[in-house]
Amino acid sequence: MFKISESTAIALHSMIYIANREDKVIPLKEIAEKFNISEHHLSKVLQRLSKEGFIKSVKGPKGGFSIVHEHKNITFLEIYEMMEGKIKRQNCLFNSNPNSCDTCIMNNLIDEMNGKLIDFMKNRKISDVVV
């Protein structure tokens, strides 16, 4: 099964939060407080999103982050793959030796779950959760 790291969860939630505050510059501290996360960790994630062009960084005392409008239609999968790299579907509980069993004890459940999550992330856009 593929995993969603804390950094990727922060990226997804931050993008949605910033997109919901569309024409405002959102301070780092506000986002960190909203999600109860480390400002240091958040800063690294937001720098990466900014470097990739998904959000804009505004420096100074009234600085923060704002959404790049054309990226409101970015999918959850695109953000995931920007943070984690291409998804590698792992269909076995054994990471080191996936061919150790004659038949899967999970009866393809892992493959089905991976497929559903990938389809969800591929079809869900930031704009879908902007109110």
Task: Tell me how far the alpha carbon of residue 69 is from its chain's centroid.
Answer: 18
The DSSP symbol for 44 reads H
Phi-psi region of 55 (alpha: psi -120 to 50; beta: other; left: phi over 0): beta
Domain count, the chain: 1
Residues in the chain: 131
The CATH number linked to 58 is 1.10.10.10
List the one residue out of 50, 45, 49 whose CA is nearest residue 32.
Answer: 45
Q: Residue 1: inside a domain, yes or no? A: no
The percentage of residues in the chain with a pLDDT greater than 70, rounded to a whole number, is 85
Asked, for residue 18, whether it belongs to a domain, the answer is yes
Specify if 21 maps to a domain.
yes
Q: In this structure, is residue 117 part of a structural domain?
A: yes
In a domain, 73, yes or no: yes
39-89 pLDDT tens trace: 999 999 999 999 999 999 999 888 999 988 777 889 999 999 999 998 876
**Domain of 112?**
6-129
pTM of the model: 0.84
Task: State mean pLDDT over 22-31.
Answer: 91
Q: What is the pLDDT of residue 112?
A: 85
